[in-house]
Structure 1
Amino acid sequence: MDSVNLEVLKASVRWIESGRRVLLVTVVKTWGSSPRPEGAMLAICEDGSVVGSVSGGCIEDDLIDRVRQLGIEQTCPEAMKYGISAEEAHRFGLPCGGTIELVLEPLTRASCIDELCRRVGAGQLVARSLDMKSGAARLVPAHATDGVDFDGHRLLTVHGPRYRMLVIGAGQLSSYLCQIALGLDYQVTVCDPREEYTDTWHVPGTTLVRTMPDDTVLDMKLDERCAVIALTHDPKLDDLALMEAVRTPAFYVGALGSRRNNAARRERLEKHFDLNRSELVRLRGPVGIYIGSRTPPEIAVSILAEVTAVKNGVALPSEFRVEEAKATLDIAMNEKTSCAVMQRH
């Protein structure tokens, strides 16, 4: 679930509890290009206050204007389409050919939004089933592969963390990385058996474990919606965990370190842990994309940019990868130095 959507639901609960009427707007289908994906949400209070987004501006403005002029008088959900004509698509800021279908749902205390927030806050993955005719909603367990489903009679939306991230090491870089990962809606586990690091760990929303990282990898039963990032620089902690991680379906396995350390790590894993080439090729390192990052927050952004690209199936050009980018810079610097020497002579 998009963490922005959780803010939408929380705002809806606050408004409902204060006695105000609320309209929940959900993107249920898109055709062509669309600014927001299926499942994106917007909550509109009867006074025109809003939280969330379904398009990027113009559709929101139209819906807010509708609420301000007509109020929220409907008692059952209804579906609405924008962008059917080229003129309407242009008016509402949709790309050429883009069409978006929304479900507009008036919320009440019986809409199960407060219970949904409670379950999501507890780390559960929940599906909310909405009957379009009656407006009745119920909550059922969901699977990570479930998505938005709308057939005109029932709307099923999925809420809660779908992706997990295991971060090995509880140092300063991990702190920044985990804060951003939480904003990206990962369920984050931090593993570090070293007391000098775990005793000072303080990132709310993460789960801290003090077991050996390779044991944690096995205990978590990693699947294709998991990422593993090793940040300790300690082979005793990183190597065994990475060995286990590359043998799982995890979509991302990577380790921090210089190009030299990365090459040494691969050599160790191949020589001492019998990893084959197909397993080694799954290990990413040095992790991140090249943005000239130097500080821990910048490095965290670099790493999570690469994780996001891999998760979304985006193939990054070789010059974006840290190893290739730095090798290119080394060549350029050597050529510059050689030219300078030749000019002096």
Structure 2
Amino acid sequence: MPERRRIVELWRTGVGRVLVTLVRAEGSSYRRPGARLLLGAGGQYAGTISGGCLETEVTRKASWIVRHGAAVERYSTLFDDTAEIPFGLGCGGTVDLLFEPVETAEAEALLVAMEGALAGKEATVKTWLPEGGLGLRRLVVNATGEVLFRSAGISDDEMTGVYEERFGAPQRLVLIGAGDDARPVAAMGALLGWNVEVLDGRAQLARAERFPGASRVRAVEDLASIPFEERDAVVVMTHSYEQDRAALAALLRVPRLRYVGILGARHRTALLVAEASAMVGVTVEETCGRIHAPIGLDLGGDGPEAIALAIVAEVQASCQGKLPASRRLTPGDVAAQIELGGASRYLSSQCAV
């Protein structure tokens, strides 16, 4: 996702000349199909298509390859060269790269779709590769099936040589809590290209200058006003027991979320789970099944940055369906922790005078 942002930014400067896309890979390949490299005038570029072994050769020949229009070139990363494959680089596979000049309507349609997806407008792109004597053609449709772009000469039943990809919206990461330990979480999420939103009821902490990588920072008293979506990942980390309890109760009222993590000690979180569940009218078992606590993968280390890495790693793994064995609370854990004492130690003390 960060790569797409950089490609769109370079394209919008007007210096882009050739767009290179990895469309097929056989054997070992550092990048998967969909990886892109935009080459600009004066040696400027954005994106990558390999671990660095192909970029120099591609940059040197790109303008020559597209002199007659879009073309597909095969590159070997095997040790042994062949007549059909340009050269060997010793990485273990072969890749097919699509070269297309940026000034064509098809390339512009693709880049506009990429830009729209970054703003949340998902799209599917089908590209008929320039093979078998036919030129490159492209079809772009939005999430509702509306055709946004269609090259001339596309047959509805023609599927040979089609490369299809979906441009999804960036992952949205919502941090409920704007303390100092939230800052590295926001920074790492932004580095991955996520849309990071920071919410906190404390206006003195919820300031944009404290979270330069976040897409939005707001002081919010009532989370009921926030329109959460099913694909959102949410981390609760205010360090205020009352605020965390209110946040968890609000999140339990949302039908489904991709990820919900609660920062805090196991005993404290168990009490939060019990009380928030009672507030909303759901079972402790249901709540335990919806949250990640203790939060973060067990990576070791100490300090805000190490904790942030563990949190972001767990969010990434969860969103990608790659989450390893979980340390999540169970209803039995909650009951055992409640026996150790109530929540009074976590509540803010107030002077009665």
Normalised by the length of structure 1, the TM-score is: 0.72
Instruction: Map 1:190-339 onto structure 2 (within 5 A).
Output: 190-199=198-207, 202-204=210-212, 205-212=214-221, 214-216=223-225, 219-220=227-228, 222-223=229-230, 225-246=231-252, 248-273=255-280, 274-317=282-325
In the TM superposition, residue 267 of structure 1 has moved relative to its aligned partner by 3.0
In the TM superposition, residue 25 of structure 1 has moved relative to its aligned partner by 1.0
CA contact (8 A) 2:62 2:99 kept: no
* Partner SS for 2:295: coil
Partner of 2:73: 80
1:163 and 2:171 are equivalent in the alignment: yes
* Partner SS for 2:68: coil
* Partner SS for 1:261: helix
Partner of 1:327: none
CA distance in 2, matches of 1:114, 1:309: 28
In the TM superposition, residue 199 of structure 1 has moved relative to its aligned partner by 4.5
* Partner SS for 1:241: helix
Higher helix share: 1
Instruction: Map 1:70-219 onto structure 2 (within 5 A).
Output: 70=64, 72-75=66-69, 77-83=70-76, 87=80, 91-95=88-92, 98-108=93-103, 110=105, 111-112=107-108, 115=112, 119=116, 122-127=119-124, 132=129, 140-142=141-143, 155=163, 157-159=165-167, 161-199=169-207, 202-204=210-212, 205-212=214-221, 214-216=223-225, 219=227
CA distance in 1, matches of 2:29, 2:283: 43
CA contact (8 A) 2:76 2:95 kept: yes
Q: Which runs of 5+ in 2 are unaligned?
A: 145-157, 330-353
Q: Which runs of 5+ in 1 are unaligned?
A: 144-149, 324-345
Return 239-248 or 86-95, whichever deviates more.
Answer: 86-95
Question: CA offsets per residue over residues 79-129 of structure 1, 9 Å max, x none?
Answer: 33444978369934544xx44332211111754277557645655445556
CA distance in 1, matches of 2:180, 2:159: 48
User: Which amino acid in 2 is paired with 1:10?
Assistant: E
> Over the residues paired in the alignment, what is the CA RMSD in angstroms?
3.6
Partner of 1:329: none
User: Which amino acid in 1 is paired with 2:68?
Assistant: Q
CA 1:118–1:311: 2 relative to 1, 3 Å = closer
In the TM superposition, residue 42 of structure 1 has moved relative to its aligned partner by 0.8
In the TM superposition, residue 184 of structure 1 has moved relative to its aligned partner by 1.4
CA 1:266–1:118: 2 relative to 1, 3 Å = closer
Question: CA offsets per residue over residues 220-257 of structure 1, 9 Å max, x none?
Answer: 2x21x321110102233222432443553322110111
CA 1:52–1:152: 2 relative to 1, 3 Å = farther
User: Which amino acid in 2 is paired with 1:91?
Assistant: G
CA 1:62–1:136: 2 relative to 1, 3 Å = same
In the TM superposition, residue 215 of structure 1 has moved relative to its aligned partner by 0.9
CA distance in 1, matches of 2:242, 2:35: 43
In the TM superposition, residue 272 of structure 1 has moved relative to its aligned partner by 4.6
CA contact (8 A) 1:32 1:99 kept: yes
CA distance in 2, matches of 1:168, 1:322: 20
CA 1:87–1:251: 2 relative to 1, 3 Å = farther
CA distance in 1, matches of 2:305, 2:78: 45
CA distance in 2, matches of 1:151, 1:80: 20
CA contact (8 A) 1:44 1:64 kept: yes
